[in-house]
Amino acid sequence: MGGGVTRTLFFLADDLADARWVTVDDHAVLARGRGLPVADAVVAVAPADAVTLHWAALPARSPAQAAAAARIVVAEASAATDLHVAVGPETDGERAVAVVDPAAMTGWLAGLARAGIDPVAVVPAAMLVPAPDEGFVRAELCGWGLVRGRGAGFADEARLTELVTGGVAPVTLGADAVEAALVAGAGAPPLDLRQGPFARRRRRGINWRAVRRAGALVGAILLVTLAIDLVRIAKYGFAADALERQADQVAASGLRRGDTVVDADRQLAERLGRVRGPGLGFAGTVAATFAGVRRVPGAEVTALDFQPSGDLRLSVATAREVEATDLKRAIEAQGFRVDAGTFQSAGGRVTGEMTVRAP
């Protein structure tokens, strides 16, 4: 019973429209036909007479180093220098080395591209035939006669086959063995000619699932950031409300009992004005005045009157008239304006009035 991944073996020919193909899955041949196949995974099969196969013991190394070593081996067996060399995986200490004309590879891939086919691999036809434990075997693959030995693989031609096999006729594989070879070769090509300059380019598609996931992550990050900002704003709002309530409480404690707090700053300023008096207030004005009096020896205040306008009227007495002038300047030095009246001398003292005003 069929099942699994399907692949189509497309046997290259001069006229691709007349070429043969075989579609297989992991277990059996599913379909056969001629012309251009309609399939996603196509393995092109190169004609055996266009590819020369060698086997060599190449040390285990990177694909590029193995290919370089294979070119040295091939150069010793061929006079041509412009050759495309492909190396297969190591089996029993040896690697299969395929040699093909670069022009042939270019022509095959160009023809396939015009037909809308980008093969996942290009396999030498002889490599599809399983190698026998000893001697040689022959198989018929889509009309191509192929011969395979432990260290050989080529198209079945009477004189060439007799020369290579030493006149011993190869054992012909049955239909079941051929079908199994096709299934195995399509699932795991034993040697792919698409190496080096002919390697298949990997198409980097957009992983929309990853894009959607990244978009979801970005959206989640933005939402979390927005939530953090909203929490911070709410926190600041609550703190501001708490400070405002605290300010109202402080303002209420500074106002008269029973007053309703409407505008704490204005109400406190009004009460402060009433308490300290107009202008700069009684206390501030009197303090500045007596500070000036203390700076003038012999000066004294005999009377004072704080006016509703904030002015302070003083009656002062000094020993000399010049001291009255010094007193006026001393009070002005405290930042007030002083208007002095007429001073008179009587009983050895100079008396008069001054008016102290806010600046």
Interacting residues of 127 by C-beta distance below 8 A, sequence separation 6+: 53, 88, 96, 98, 153, 185, 189, 190, 191
**The pairing of beta strand 7-11 with beta strand 42-46:** parallel
- State the Cα–Cα distance between residues 70 and 67, nearest whole angstrom: 5
185 Cβ contact partners less than 8 Å away, ≥ 6 residues apart: 9, 43, 123, 127, 128
**Domains of the chain, residue spans:** 7-198, 205-276, 277-357
Spell out the residues 6+ positions from residue 91 whose beta carbon is closer than 8 angstroms to its own: none
Inter-residue contact 263 to 248 (CB < 8 Å): no
Location of structure tokens 């060698």:
54
Closest to 55 measured CA to CA, from 8, 88, 80: 88
CATH class in words for 7-198 = alpha beta
For 277-357, the fitting CATH number among 3.30.1360.100, 3.30.479.10, 3.30.1490.190, 1.10.10.10 is: 3.30.1360.100
- Other CB atoms within 10 A of residue 340 CB: 16
Longest Cα pair distance anywhere in the chain, in angstroms? 166
The total of other beta-carbon atoms located within 10 Å of residue 109's CB is: 19
Nearest to residue 293, comparing CAs of 316, 313, 310? 316
Per-residue pLDDT of the chain (359 residues; tens, 9 = 90+): 455 688 999 999 989 988 999 999 888 899 999 999 888 899 999 999 999 898 888 766 666 777 777 777 776 666 556 788 888 888 877 888 999 999 999 999 999 999 999 999 999 999 999 989 889 999 999 889 999 998 889 999 888 888 888 888 899 999 999 999 999 999 889 999 999 889 887 665 667 788 888 989 999 999 999 999 999 999 988 888 888 777 777 766 666 666 666 666 676 666 666 655 566 777 888 888 888 888 888 888 889 888 877 888 889 898 888 888 888 888 888 888 889 888 888 878 889 999 988 87
User: 98, 95, 114: which is closest to 106 by C-alpha?
Assistant: 114
What are the Cα distances from residue 118, in Å, to 122, 187, 200?
Answer: 10, 17, 8
User: In whole angstroms, what is the distance from residue 149 CA to residue 170 CA?
Assistant: 9
